[in-house]
Amino acid sequence: MATSKPRTSSFSRNLATVPSSTPGLKYGPNGTIFISSGIPDLDKILGGGFPLGSLVMVMEDAEAPHHMLLLRNFMSQGLVHKQPLLYASPSKDPKGFLGTLPTPGSSKDDKSRDRDPENENGLRIAWQYKKYFGDNQHHFDSNRDVKHEYCHDFDLRKPLEKHFISGQHIDCVSILDSPNLAALRDRCATFLAQFPRNDSSISSAGRIAIQSFCAPQCKYSNMEWDMLSFIRSLRSMVRSSNAVAVVTFPPSLLSPSFSRRWQHMADTLLSVRAIPDEDKEMAKLLTGYQDMVGLLNVHKVARINTQVPVILDATTFSIKLQRRRFLVLESLNQAPIDSSSGTSYGTSASCSGSSKTGTLDF
Amino acid sequence: MDQRAPNLLDEALGLVDEEKTKPWPLSSRVVLVEDRVETSGAFVLHHLLKRALSPHSSNDVVVFLAFSQPFSHYDRVLRKLGCNLTAQRENNRFFFLDLLVSEFPDGDEGNRDGLVALYGKIEKLVSTSFQENKKCITIVIDDFSLMEVAANGATNYVLDFLRYCHALTSTFGCSLVVLNHEDIYSSIERPALILQMEYLADILIKAEPLATGLATDVHGQGVLFCESRWCN
C-alpha cells in the first residue's frame, strides 16, 4: 500500500512501513496512536482521531442531546473494533443505552458517498481551489483501502447488531446513587489496568465513556472539588494507559471558574450546540440550514508529545444527518449575500448577523 | 542552526548572552506564565527548560514539578528542541518529580505531609546543588492549578507552599517558574490566588489568543510584563 508521505515535519513516522495489524488503531506522528471517534469527519478534523492516553471532554448544550450522537458513535466504534468499553451514566439502568447504539452502514452506502477529492479531478470546472486544500486529506483517504476499516460510517437508524454487544468486555456503571466518586474511580482504575502503556507492542485499546458527569441528579454533583479531583485522576490514569476517555458535561451547571478548570483538564475539548428551529436569521445566513441538526465547536485538539498546536481552518462545524442516517460534519458556508446590502461579515464561523432583505438561495 | 540563536522571548527575558560571561539572568527571579484554554503557555516552559539545560551552562540544575504531563511527553518535546532530558536526568542536572497522581490533602491536625514533604524534597535538592557549586538552579511548576486540585482546593495551603519556594529564591539564588491559567480566575470577584502570584512574580508572561481570531501561522500572542526594578 503506497501512501504519499504526509507533508508534516520530517520527524513523522512513515506510515507505509508500519503495518496496521490491529484494526482500529492508527499510528500517528510523535509516537501517538489514534483510535477513531466513530465519525469520519471528526477524525479528519482532529488529525486522525483521538490519541491514546488523552482525555476528551464534550460540553453539552442543555437544550439538545447532540452529545449523545458523539457518545453513541464513539461507543459503537469501539465495540465494532472489539475494544473494551466502560460506560458510566446517571441513569438507573445504563445497559439500556447500549440498545440505542448505531450499526455500521453497509459498504454499498459507503461508496455512494465517497467524497474522495481525487475522484473529483474529473470535474475541472471553475472550482480549482480544491487542489490547494491541505494535503491533510490525502493520507487519510489512502486508509480507505484497508479492509478492516479504521472508522466506520454509522447508520443511526439501525441498532447495533447483537453479536457486537454480547460477549464483549462492556462495563456499565450507574453514577446516579453513588454518594462520592470513589467507587467510579476504582472502576476506572481496574478497567484501565488492562491497558498499561509500556514500550512493548500494544495489544488492544480501551474506551471509557462518561455521560453528563455533573448532572444534578447525581448525589455528588455539588462537590465541586471532588469532581475536579476525579477528572484529574482519570486524566492521569488514562495518560499512562492505552485508552481514551470521553466525558460529557453541561458547563452551565458549573460555576464559570470550575467550568474553566474542567476545560483546562481536557486534552481535546469539543462543544455541541443546538440550532433553533425556524430561525429565519440563520436560515438567511447559512446554506443548508434546514438540514442542520446542531453545531460542533472544536476548542482544543490534543497535543501529546508535541508542543505544536493544531490550527484549524475553522472551529465551528455543522452537524448534519445525511439521508437522515449518517452523521456528517461540515464547515459552515455563508449564503451569498445580496450585493445591494452594504454590510460585510466576519469569518464564516460566526453565526451572528444582521437581517438583510433578499438573499439568493440555491 | 546555532543553538544559541536568540529570539524575541530570549531578548525580552535577558537570556541573550553573547560572551557567556553573565550568570543566569533569571537567578533569584520568579517567572509567572499565564495562559488560557485556547492558547497553551507550556511552550514557554519548554523553552526555558531548553535554555536552562543548554550544554554551555553545565552548572545548571532544574527541579521540575510535573502535575500535567508525564516524563515521556517532555522528553519528546525537548528532544525536538535539541535537548536530551533522559541524559540530563542521569547526569543529575534534571530532577523530574512526577506528581500526576499525588494528592496533598490539607488536614487540620498534623496531616500536612503532602506539600510539606514535597517542599522538603525540593529544598534538599536545591541546597545540595547549591553546595555542589551549581550556579543556577531553576524550579519549574507545571501547572499550579493542578496543584490546587491535588490539595482539594485548599488555597492557603498551596499559597504557603508557593511562598516557601519563593523564599528559596532569595536564600539560594534559584529561580522559580510557575505556569497557571488566568481564565480560571478571571470570573472570581477577588481572585486572591492569582493576585498573590502576580504580586510575587518579577516577570509575567501571558499567552493569549489573537484578538482577531484564527490564523494559520500565528498561534497566539505573548505579552511580557517585567517589574521595573529588575529590568536593565
Q: Cβ B76–A305 below 8 Å, yes or no?
A: yes
Q: Cβ A305–B73 below 8 Å, yes or no?
A: yes
Q: Cβ B219–A311 below 8 Å, yes or no?
A: yes
CA A66 to chain B, closest CA, distance in angstroms equals 23
CA A247 to chain B, closest CA, distance in angstroms equals 17
Q: Cβ B37–A225 below 8 Å, yes or no?
A: no
Q: Cβ B214–A229 below 8 Å, yes or no?
A: no
Cβ–Cβ under 8 Å, residues A4 and A140: no
Cell of B50: 531548553
CA gap B106, B155 in Å, rounded = 10
Burial code (b: 16+ CB inside 10 Å, e: under 16) for A137-166 equals: ebbbbbbeeeeebbbbbbbbeeebeeebbe
**pLDDT of B16 over the 90 cut:** no
**pLDDT of B113 over the 70 cut:** no
Say what the pLDDT of residue A106 is.
67
> Mean pLDDT over residues A36-41, rounded?
91
Closest to A233 (Cα-Cα) out of A199, A196, A192: A192
> Which of A40-54, A84-98, A151-165 is predicted least confidently?
A151-165
Q: What is the pLDDT of residues A17-35, one digit of tens each?
A: 344 567 788 888 888 899 9
CA gap A157, A160 in Å, rounded = 10
When scoring B46, B72, B194, B208 by the number of chain A Cβ atoms within 10 A, the one with the most, hence best to mutate, is B72
Q: What is the pLDDT of residues B140-171, one digit of tens each?
A: 998 899 999 999 888 888 899 999 999 988 88
Instruction: For chain A, give every domain's residue range.
Output: 29-278
- B-chain CB neighbours of A300 within 8 Å are 37-38
Which amino acid is residue A337, in one-letter code?
A: I
Radius of gyration of chain A, Cα coordinates, nearest whole angstrom: 21
pLDDT confidence tier of residue A220, bands split at 50, 70 and 90: confident
Cβ–Cβ under 8 Å, residues B62 and B55: no
pLDDT confidence tier of residue B22, bands split at 50, 70 and 90: low
CA A19 to chain B, closest CA, distance in angstroms equals 23
Radius of gyration of chain B, Cα coordinates, nearest whole angstrom: 17
- B-chain CB neighbours of A225 within 8 Å are 149, 152-153
Q: Cβ A225–B149 below 8 Å, yes or no?
A: yes
- A-chain CB neighbours of B150 within 8 Å are 229, 232
Q: Pinpoint the alpha helices (H) of chain A.
A: 40-45, 66-80, 107-112, 138-141, 162-165, 182-192, 224-239, 256-265, 280-285
> Which of A63-77, A104-118, B11-25, B180-194 is predicted least confidently?
A104-118
Q: List the single residue in A261, A263, A315 with the smallest CB-CB distance to B214.
A: A315
Chains A, B: CB contacts under 8 A, how many?
81
CA B76 to chain A, closest CA, distance in angstroms equals 6
Handedness of CA A86, A90, A96, A97 (dihedral sign): negative
Distance of CA A138 to the CA centre of its chain: 20
- A-chain CB neighbours of B43 within 8 Å are 307
CA A243 to chain B, closest CA, distance in angstroms equals 15
Dihedrals φ, ψ of A313, to 5°?
A: -65, -35
CATH, range A29-278: 3.40.50.300
Q: Cβ A236–B69 below 8 Å, yes or no?
A: no
Q: Cβ B145–A264 below 8 Å, yes or no?
A: yes
Cβ–Cβ under 8 Å, residues A30 and A216: no
Cα nearest neighbour of A347 on chain B: B213
Cβ–Cβ under 8 Å, residues A133 and A312: no
> CA–CA distance from B221 to each of A32, B44, B208, B211 (Å)?
28, 12, 5, 9
**pLDDT of B58 over the 80 cut:** no
Chain A residues contacting B via beta carbons under 8 Å = 11, 30-31, 224-226, 228-229, 232-233, 236-237, 239-240, 255-257, 260-261, 263-264, 269, 299-300, 303-307, 309, 311-315, 346-347
CA A152 to chain B, closest CA, distance in angstroms equals 30
Closest to A294 (Cα-Cα) out of A315, A323, A317: A317
Cβ–Cβ under 8 Å, residues B131 and B125: no
- A-chain CB neighbours of B42 within 8 Å are 307
CA B21 to chain A, closest CA, distance in angstroms equals 31
Say what the pLDDT of residue B72 is.
92
Task: For residue B67, give every residue at least 6 positions away whose Cβ sits within 8 Å of its Cβ, in sequence order, or none.
Answer: B99, B100, B141, B142, B143, B146, B147, B150
Q: What is the mean pLDDT of chain B?
A: 81
Q: What is the pLDDT of residues A280-325, one digit of tens each?
A: 777 777 777 777 888 999 999 998 888 888 778 788 888 888 877 8
CA gap B4, B11 in Å, rounded = 12
Q: What is the pLDDT of residues A257-278, one digit of tens each?
A: 999 999 999 999 999 998 877 7
Say what the pLDDT of residue A163 is.
81
- At A295 the three-state DSSP class reads strand
> Which of A10-24, A144-158, B69-83, B127-141 is predicted least confidently?
A10-24
Q: Regarding predicted confidence, which is higher, A218 or A50?
A: A50
- A-chain CB neighbours of B185 within 8 Å are 257
Say what the pLDDT of residue A352 is.
38
> Mean pLDDT over residues A154-168, rounded?
82
- A-chain CB neighbours of B216 within 8 Å are 311
Q: Pinpoint the alpha helices (H) of chain B.
A: 8-13, 42-52, 71-80, 85-90, 113-131, 144-150, 155-172, 182-185, 192-200
CA A191 to chain B, closest CA, distance in angstroms equals 17
**pLDDT of B63 over the 90 cut:** yes
Residues B25-211, CATH architecture: 3-Layer(aba) Sandwich (3.40)
Name beta bridge partners: A292.
Answer: A320
Q: Cβ A257–B100 below 8 Å, yes or no?
A: no
Say what the pLDDT of residue B64 is.
94
Q: List the single residue in B100, B185, B219 with the smallest CB-CB distance to A257.
A: B185
Say what the pLDDT of residue A136 is.
44
Q: Give the angle A128-A130-A131 at the CA atoms, nearest 5°.
A: 85
Say what the pLDDT of residue A130 is.
56
> Mean pLDDT over residues A45-62, rounded?
93
- At A107 the three-state DSSP class reads helix
pLDDT confidence tier of residue B227, bands split at 50, 70 and 90: low
Cα nearest neighbour of A134 on chain B: B216
Say what the pLDDT of residue B78 is.
93
- B-chain CB neighbours of A255 within 8 Å are 187
> Mean pLDDT over residues A237-257, rounded?
93
